[in-house]
C-alpha cells in the first residue's frame, strides 16, 4: 500500500517527475558510457602497443632497453630459442628481430626511421605487420625489398617499385648505405606507426649491420596477457641475468600500466562529478514537492502519523524515482555501448594528439559489470543520503505549521 501511494504521489506533478527522471537517466548514462569509453581506450592502448612490435614479453640484451643500439644485442640466440620452446604456454607465438635507428632517403626527401629486420612468416598473429593491409607484395623472396607505411610513402613521394637508400651505423661504427626497392606499402591503425617503421628481411638487415646472426630482441605474444608475469619469472630462472633481460609489456610501456591501474579511479571521480550535478536537481525537486504538500503533511500528522512515517514516505518516493531513472539510464547506456562497440568512435580529426598516447584512430567502448554496479550503487546510495534533508524537513512539519502557512 505504501508503495502504491508513493508511486501516485510521484505523478501528481508529472512534468516535474519526468524532468528529474530524465536528469537521473542521463546522469547514469554518462557514468556508464564514460567508464566504457575509458575502458575501451585503455584496452585499445594496451592492444595497440602489444601488436606494435612490443608483445607481452621481450628478451633483450642487458642495456638495450635503456640505450637501444646494436652494441647491446643478443649474441647467443640458441639458448633463448630453446627456453622459449620449453617454457611458453601452448598457443604462444614468438620471433626474433633486429632493430636499428636509420635514415631513409628518396630523390627529394630524407627522414629518420626505425629499420626492422623480420621473419615475415613468424609475424602473423604476433604483430600488426603480420596482418596489415599491404599495397603490393610482402617481403617473401625479396632480399633487397622493404615495406614502408602509407604515411611515410606520402612524405617521401614514393610508391611500390621505387628505390630508396637507407643509412645505418653498423657494428664497427661505420655508416652503411644500402639501396632497397619498395615491394609493399602497409597501412596501420596509427599514422605514427606508418611513419616510423620500415621492414626488411632479417638476414638482409643483419648483413647490412655486420652482426652475423645476432638479434636485438625476441618478442613473445601469449594466449592471455595475465600470464606475462609468471612466464617472465620462469624465463628469468632459465636464462642467465648476465646475458639476457626479460621484460613484460608493463615494463616496456610503463605509462600504459599506470592508465590501466588508474582507470577505476578515473571512473569513480567522473561518477562523483556527475552525481554532484545531479544531486542539486534531485534535492531541489524533492524540496519543491515537500513545500507544495505542507497542508497534506500537517493533516496526516494530525491523524496520528509520526514524523518517522513521513520521512520514510518521502525516502520511498525518492527511492522509486532513483530506481526508475537508474533503469532507464542503464538501458540507454547499454544500448549506446552495444551500438558503438561495433562501429567505434572515429577520432581521425584528433589523430595527432591521440596517437601521442598510443591510441588508435577509432575507439570501441567496452562495458563491464563493475561499471554498471558502481553507477547504480552510487546513484541509489548517495541519492537516498541527499534526500534525507528534504525528508527530515517534511517530518518536522506539524499541524500548527500547516495551519499558519495557509
- Please tell me what DSSP assigns to residue 89: P
The model's pLDDT over 284-295, given as tens digits with 9 standing for 90+, comes to 777 777 777 777
Q: Which residues contact 283 (CB under 8 A, 6 or more apart)?
A: 386, 387, 389, 390
User: b/e for 249-279, b at 16 or more Cβ within 10 A?
Assistant: bbebbeebbebeeebbeebeebbeebbeebb
The model's pLDDT over 145-163, given as tens digits with 9 standing for 90+, comes to 999 999 999 999 999 999 9
- State the virtual CA torsion across 140, 145, 146, 152 in degrees, nearest 10: -140
Q: What is the pTM of this model?
A: 0.71
Predicted pLDDT at 237: 93
- Please tell me what DSSP assigns to residue 183: E
Pick the closest to residue 133 from 118, 149, 119 (CA basis): 149
Cross-strand partners of 145: 181
Strand 197-201, strand 110-118: pairing? parallel
- H-helix or E-strand spanning residue 93: strand 93-105
End-to-end CA distance of the chain: 29
User: b/e for 359-396, b at 16 or more Cβ within 10 A?
Assistant: bbbebbbbbeeebbebbbebbbebbeebbeebbebbbe
Residue 69: other Cβ atoms inside 10 A: 13
Pick the closest to residue 36 from 383, 389, 335, 368 (CA basis): 368
pLDDT tens series, the chain, 406 aa: 467 766 676 677 778 778 888 888 988 898 899 888 888 887 777 777 888 888 999 999 999 999 999 999 999 999 999 999 999 999 999 999 999 999 999 888 999 999 999 999 899 888 989 888 889 888 988 889 999 999 999 999 999 999 999 999 999 989 999 999 999 999 987 788 899 999 999 999 999 999 999 999 999 999 988 899 999 999 999 999 888 999 998 888 887 777 777 777 877 888 888 888 888 878 877 777 777 777 777 777 777 778 788 788 888 888 888 888 899 999 999 999 998 888 877 766 555 545 545 556 678 888 888 888 888 888 888 888 888 888 887 777 777 666 666 5
Q: Which residues contact 254 (CB under 8 A, 6 or more apart)?
A: none
Pick the closest to residue 220 from 123, 348, 102 (CA basis): 123
Amino acid at each position: 500500500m505504501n508503495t502504491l501511494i508513493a508511486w501516485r504521489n510521484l505523478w501528481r506533478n508529472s512534468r516535474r517527475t519526468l524532468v528529474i527522471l530524465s536528469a537521473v537517466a542521463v546522469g547514469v548514462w554518462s557514468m556508464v558510457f564514460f567508464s566504457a569509453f575509458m575502458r575501451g581506450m585503455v584496452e585499445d592502448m594496451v592492444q595497440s602497443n602489444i601488436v606494435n612490435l612490443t608483445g607481452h614479453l621481450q628478451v633483450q640484451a642487458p642495456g638495450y632497453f635503456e640505450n637501444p643500439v646494436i652494441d647491446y644485442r643478443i649474441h647467443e640466440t640458441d639458448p633463448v630459442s630453446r627456453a622459449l620452446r620449453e617454457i611458453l604456454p601452448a598457443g604462444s607465438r614468438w620471433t626474433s628481430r633486429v632493430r636499428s635507428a636509420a635514415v631513409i632517403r628518396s630523390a627529394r626527401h630524407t627522414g629518420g626511421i626505425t629499420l626492422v629486420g623480420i621473419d615475415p612468416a613468424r609475424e602473423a598473429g604476433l604483430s600488426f605487420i603480420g596482418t596489415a593491409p599491404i599495397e603490393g607484395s610482402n617481403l617473401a623472396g625479396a632480399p633487397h625489398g622493404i615495406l614502408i607505411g602509407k604515411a611515410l610513402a606520402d612524405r617521401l613521394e614514393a610508391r611500390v617499385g621505387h628505390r630508396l637508400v637507407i643509412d645505418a651505423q653498423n657494428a664497427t661504427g661505420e655508416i652503411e648505405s644500402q639501396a632497397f626497392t619498395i615491394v609493399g606499402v602497409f597501412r596501420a591503425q596509427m599514422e605514427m606507426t606508418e611513419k616510423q617503421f620500415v621492414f626488411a628481411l632479417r638476414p638482409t638487415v643483419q648483413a647490412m649491420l655486420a652482426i652475423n646472426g645476432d638479434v636485438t630482441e625476441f618478442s613473445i605474444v601469449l594466449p592471455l596477457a595475465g600470464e606475462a608475469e609468471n612466464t617472465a619469472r620462469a624465463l628469468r630462472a632459465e636464462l642467465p641475468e648476465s646475458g639476457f633481460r626479460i621484460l613484460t609489456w608493463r615494463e616496456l610501456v610503463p605509462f600504459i600500466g599506470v592508465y590501466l591501474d588508474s582507470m577505476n579511479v578515473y571512473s569513480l571521480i567522473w561518477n562523483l562529478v556527475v552525481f554532484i550535478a545531479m544531486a542539486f536537481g534531485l534535492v531541489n525537486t524533492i524540496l519543491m514537492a515537500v513545500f507544495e504538500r505542507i497542508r497534506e503533511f500537517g493533516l496526516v500528522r494530525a491523524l496520528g502519523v509520526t514524523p518517522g512515517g513521513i520521512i520514510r514516505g518521502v525516502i520511498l518516493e525518492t527511492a522509486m524515482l532513483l530506481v526508475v531513472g537508474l533503469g532507464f539510464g542503464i538501458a540507454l547506456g547499454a544500448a549506446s555501448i552495444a551500438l558503438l562497440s561495433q562501429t567505434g568512435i572515429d577520432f581521425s580529426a584528433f589523430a595527432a594528439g591521440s596517437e601521442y598516447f598510443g591510441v588508435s584512430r577509432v575507439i570501441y567502448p567496452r562495458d563491464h559489470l563493475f561499471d554498471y554496479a558502481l553507477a547504480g550503487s552510487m546513484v541509489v546510495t548517495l541519492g537516498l543520503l541527499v534526500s534525507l534533508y528534504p525528508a527530515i524537513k517534511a517530518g518536522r512539519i506539524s499541524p500548527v505549521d500547516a495551519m499558519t502557512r495557509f
